[in-house]
């Protein structure tokens, strides 16, 4: 483990007093740099999102005004340490895949151009402990299908498509007369 | 779901009487074809391996004499439905990653040339239900690091490196006089 201050606050060198090694480049700092390189969009589609450093990177982009969409599995959105609530409270649009099966992807697309994908869930254990892999590529043949899958799942997870059991049934809803001509 | 007979027994068309659709091409049949294309080697490095069709494909390669190495996580090697025992009984060299953290990879390399990787564990649920992704590529810049990681983990999981608690301690082992001169 290494201090991440030089990633999150590069203009404030050595202001951190923590005991971790400082200024160290690791595979995780490279991953954070890829995410932080976003300037026009960030789409995240991950099974579980509980890693606070990855959350911090996404929040930093939000502060910069980068449009962000986050999609995660519904069962893992509510686990202990999930960052979905943190993201939502910051105003980031975060949806849960509501299907009956696991949404098991672990990818993100930066600026519709850079794909980050692999075995790595966005959790503390995955980043700090496990043996994992992450591919970062701009190959359009790889990026394209992931963008398409994100768009498909994002639309399918639109909460406006679902209604609660306590909502009035369609037949009970008041009829609004149409002004359209036949 | 579709019948896989045309993948496993292409020379026996329509000999299967099951009720599933026959001769259908799916993302899973494409995955099986990639694995079955192996002619000189197959290296599999997966967190969990309980999918019987993927096991069947690996066994088919074994029958053809293709050298196969399978590495999986130790905790998942013994789960219900694990195919590791089936592979070992067929004479395939299957090792378990013995580290204290999860070996969470989900990749295979065919003929040291074709990389298959993604979010897909080699389980029934992953193949039949979940939303998953698999990348298949021959890009050497992607294949190379996965080959290197496989070799590293494979050597590190060599059971000859480990000894059981009941084994004699090194000091208890009989000393074999060296014939080497100083």
Of B119, B129, B153, the CB nearest to A119: B119
Strands (E), B48-146: 68-73, 93-97, 106-110, 114-118, 134-137
Q: CB distance B131–A106 less than 8 Å?
A: no
In a domain, A34, yes or no: yes
| Residue B97 annotated in active site | no
DSSP state of B43: E
Number of compact structural domains in chain B: 1
In a domain, A100, yes or no: yes
The tens-digit pLDDT sequence of chain B (182 residues) is 888 888 888 876 667 888 888 888 899 999 999 999 999 999 999 999 999 999 999 999 999 999 999 999 999 888 889 999 999 999 999 999 988 899 999 999 999 999 999 999 999 999 999 999 999 999 999 999 999 999 999 999 998 877 666 666 555 545 444 444 44
In a domain, A29, yes or no: yes
B142 touches chain A (CB under 8 A): yes
- Residue A70 in this model has a pLDDT that exceeds 50: yes
Q: What does residue A141 show for φ and ψ, rounded to 5 degrees?
A: -65, -25
- Side-chain-side CA neighbours of residue B114 (13 Å): 16
Average pLDDT over residues A2-13: 81
pTM: 0.87
| Residue A106 annotated in active site | yes
Average pLDDT over residues A37-52: 98
* pLDDT-based confidence at residue A180 (cuts at 50, 70, 90): very low
A97 touches chain B (CB under 8 A): yes
Q: CB distance A139–B139 less than 8 Å?
A: yes
A118 touches chain B (CB under 8 A): yes
Question: How many Cβ atoms sit within 10 Å of the Cβ of residue A107?
Answer: 23
Strands (E), chain A: 42-46, 68-73, 93-97, 106-110, 114-118, 134-137
Asked which of A112-116, A119-123, B78-82, B136-140 is least confident by mean pLDDT, the reply is B78-82
**Whether B147 contacts B72, CB under 8 Å:** no
In a domain, A88, yes or no: yes
Shortest distance between the Cα of A98 and any Cα of chain B, in A, equals 12
Comparison of pLDDT for A75 and A176, the residue scoring more: A75
In this structure, what token pair is assigned to residue B77? 């090697």
Closest C-alpha among B54, B33, B30, B29 to residue B44: B54
In a domain, A6, yes or no: no
What local confidence, expressed as pLDDT, does residue B169 receive?
Answer: 59
Question: For all residues of chain B together, what is the average pLDDT?
Answer: 89
What local confidence, expressed as pLDDT, does residue A140 receive?
Answer: 97
Q: CB distance B129–A101 less than 8 Å?
A: yes
A95 touches chain B (CB under 8 A): no
- Residue A172 in this model has a pLDDT that exceeds 80: no
Asked which of A66-70, A164-168, A169-173 is least confident by mean pLDDT, the reply is A169-173
Taking CB atoms and an 8 Å cutoff, what residues of chain B touch A101? 125, 129-131
In a domain, A171, yes or no: no
* Chain A, window 8-37: residues with a beta carbon less than 8 angstroms from a chain B beta carbon: none
- What ipTM was predicted for this assembly? 0.86
Residue of B nearest to A118 (CA): B118
In a domain, A182, yes or no: no
Q: CB distance A131–B106 less than 8 Å?
A: no
Residue of B nearest to A101 (CA): B130
- Residue A61 in this model has a pLDDT that exceeds 90: yes
- Residue B108 structural domain: 23-159
Average pLDDT over residues A68-74: 97
Dihedral sign of CA atoms B76, B117, B94, B157 in order? negative
Comparison of pLDDT for A176 and A117, the residue scoring more: A117
Q: What does residue A37 show for φ and ψ, rounded to 5 degrees?
A: -75, -10
A128: domain CATH number?
Answer: 3.30.870.10
Q: Taking the CA atoms of chain B, what radius of gyration do you get in angstroms?
A: 19
What local confidence, expressed as pLDDT, does residue B5 receive?
Answer: 84
Closest C-alpha among B61, B76, B41, B54 to residue B4: B54
What local confidence, expressed as pLDDT, does residue B159 receive?
Answer: 86
What local confidence, expressed as pLDDT, does residue A179 receive?
Answer: 43
In a domain, B170, yes or no: no
Closest C-alpha among B171, B51, B42 to residue B121: B51
């Amino acid at each position: 483990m290494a201090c991440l201050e030089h990633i999150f606050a590069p203009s404030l060198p050595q202001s951190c007093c923590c005991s971790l090694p400082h200024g160290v480049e690791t595979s995780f700092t490279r991953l954070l740099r890829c995410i932080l390189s976003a300037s026009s969009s960030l789409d995240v589609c991950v099974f579980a999102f509980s890693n606070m450093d990855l959350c911090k990177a996404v929040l930093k982009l939000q502060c910069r005004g980068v449009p962000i969409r986050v999609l995660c599995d519904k069962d893992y959105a509510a686990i202990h340490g999930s960052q979905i609530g943190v993201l939502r409270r910051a105003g980031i649009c975060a949806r849960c895949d509501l299907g009956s099966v696991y949404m098991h992807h672990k990818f993100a697309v930066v600026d519709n151009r850079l794909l980050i994908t692999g075995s790595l869930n966005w959790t503390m254990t995955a980043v700090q402990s496990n043996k994992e892999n992450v591919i970062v590529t701009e190959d359009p043949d790889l990026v394209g299908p992931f963008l398409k899958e994100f768009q498909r799942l994002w639309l399918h997870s639109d909460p406006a498509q679902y209604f609660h059991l306590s909502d009035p049934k369609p037949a009970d809803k008041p009829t609004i007369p149409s002004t359209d001509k036949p």
